[in-house]
Amino acid sequence: MHREGLRCPKCGSTRIGVIAGGQFQLKCLGCGYIWTPSLVPSGYIEVNGKLIHWTEVEAAKEKLLSELREVLENAGDCERIKPILAKYSGTLDAERISRVVKNALTQVEPNLRLKGQSFVERYSKAVMACVNEYFNSSKVTEPRHLD
């Protein structure tokens, strides 16, 4: 039985069969290699080593965005930002948190611009430095690029 998209980890063949029996196993029809694939259940995302349903991830992103906007609009300092990041680090990985922070900064920029463009630039850098500091001091896996 040919399975679209699957490849043998040994030879790369796409000619894959399912072995009948108890444990779910696959067999390469090219080289005969047998393996048990690691499967993530449909609708789940692996975040910091845990499986979380995508709806929980999306809800956490929205709540994080809302809480960050409120703090950032008032030019909140790092000590006000870190607890918010910590609150969502169990549901969101560092890459998602970083994207939400950048999105929140973009959304509040028009209000911050009233304090001057140089303030916006300094504040944005300070917020991202705070996020990096948080990632370095926590168990959240840091994304490759935060700039």
Model confidence at 20: pLDDT above 80: yes
Q: What integer is the mean pLDDT of 14-21?
A: 90
d(CA 140, CA 36): 29
Let me know if residue 146 belongs to a domain. Answer: no
Is residue 113 located within the same domain as residue 48?
yes
Is residue 55 located within the same domain as residue 101?
yes
69, containing H or E segment = helix 54-73
d(CA 117, CA 20): 65
Q: What integer is the mean pLDDT of 97-119?
A: 94
d(CA 93, CA 56): 13
| E strand map for the chain | 16-19, 25-28, 34-35, 44-47, 50-53
132, containing H or E segment = helix 117-137
Is residue 107 located within the same domain as residue 76?
yes
Summarize pLDDT for 71-88 with one digit per residue, the tens: 999 999 999 999 999 999
Let me know if residue 95 belongs to a domain. Answer: yes
Residues 130, 83 contacting (CB under 8 angstroms): no
Q: Is 1 helix (H, G, I), strand (E, B) or coil?
A: coil
Let me know if residue 145 belongs to a domain. Answer: no
Q: What is the pTM of this model?
A: 0.68
Is residue 1 located within the same domain as residue 50?
no
Let me know if residue 96 belongs to a domain. Answer: yes
